[in-house]
Amino acid sequence: MNYTVIIPARYASARFPGKPLAVLAGKPMLQRTFECANKSAARRVIIATDDERIAALAHKIGAEVCMTSDRHKSGSERLAEVTNIYDMNEKEIVVNLQSDEPFMPVECLDQVAGLLESEHNCNMATLCCPLLEKTDIDNPNIVKLVADRYGYAMYFSRAPIPWDRNKTISIAPNYFRHIGLYAYTVSFLRKYVEMPSCELESAEALEQLRVLWNGEKIKVGTTELDTGMGIDTHKDMIRVEPYIRNS
C-alpha cells in the first residue's frame, strides 16, 4: 500500500499547552503516536509542527520532521502545507493521525488508506465504530455519524443521531461513533482547505461538515477494534494510565 502518514503536532493549546510532549507512563505522547504510525504499512511517516521543542523531540526519536507555519487554524491546513513543501503527487494518499491519538491501532491506519485506495467516487475517507452504551449516545464529546446504504457519510453530530423519536431503535447496529482518522488524496486535501466554511461546521465544531456542505462525499469504513482513548485534558492523562498498564 502506498500512503503517507502525517502527524500534525502543535505546542499551543488553550486546554493543554505542550500536549504532544506530555509524558505517558514514561514516554512522551508524541513518541507513542509516532511509534504507532511507524508500525503501519505507510511508506513514510512525517511529523508536522511549528514548534522547535516538538521538532527536537521528533528528531530525538528518529522521526522525519517538517516545519510549518504557526498561522494554521487546523491540522488539515498544516497537512496541506506539508504536501506542498514535499511537492507530493496529487494522487498520493495522506492519512491524518492526530498527535493525541497514541493508541490508534495500526490496522485502522491501513484500513482507512486502503478504503480510499479502492474508492472511485470520492477522495476522502474516515472510520467509525459501533456505539454500545446509551450514555455515549448523549455524550457531546463523542461524535456520532450516519451513513447511507452505500457507505457515504450523511451527517456528523455531537447530538444523538439518528434521533429515535419513538424509542424503538436498538443501540446496535444503528449508532456509530466517528473515529477522527482521515485519509485524503493530496489533490483533495489542497482543495479542502480552500473550501468555504459553513455555519454547521461552526455550530458543531466539526471540520468535516465543511466537506458535506460543499457537496463532496466522505467514504466511511467500520471497525470493531478498540481505538483507545484520545487525550484532550490533563485529567485524561491520569485516566489513561490504567489503560496503558492493561494494554
Task: Fill in the amino acid letter for 171.
Answer: I
CA distance 56 to 32: 15
Q: Could you tell me which residue, 136 or 213, shows the higher pLDDT?
A: 213
Question: How high is the pLDDT of residue 130?
Answer: 93
> pLDDT tens for residues 18-56?
889 988 888 999 999 999 999 999 999 999 999 999 999
- Pair 222, 174: CB distance under 8 Å: no
Supply 158's cell numbers: 455531537
Whether the per-residue pLDDT at 11 is higher than 90: the answer is no
**What's the pLDDT score for residue 19?**
87
- For residue 229, the model assigns a pLDDT of 67
Q: Domain 3-246: which topology?
A: Spore Coat Polysaccharide Biosynthesis Protein SpsA; Chain A (3.90.550)
- Mapping DSSP to helix (H, G, I), strand (E, B) and coil, where does residue 119 land? coil
Phi, psi values for residue 3, rounded to 5° = -150, 165
Peptide bond into 162 cis (omega under 30): yes
> What are residue 115's phi and psi, to 5 degrees?
-60, -45
Residue with more model confidence, 14 or 187: 187
The helix-helix angle for 52-60 and 29-38 (nearest 10°) equals: 50
Task: Note the pLDDT of residue 14.
Answer: 63
* Mean pLDDT score across all residues of the chain: 91
The DSSP secondary-structure symbol of 20 reads G
Question: pTM value?
Answer: 0.93
Phi-psi region of 218 (alpha: psi -120 to 50; beta: other; left: phi over 0): beta
Residue spans of the domains in the chain: they are 3-246
Question: Residue 219 pLDDT more than 90?
Answer: yes
For residue 237, pLDDT beyond 80: no
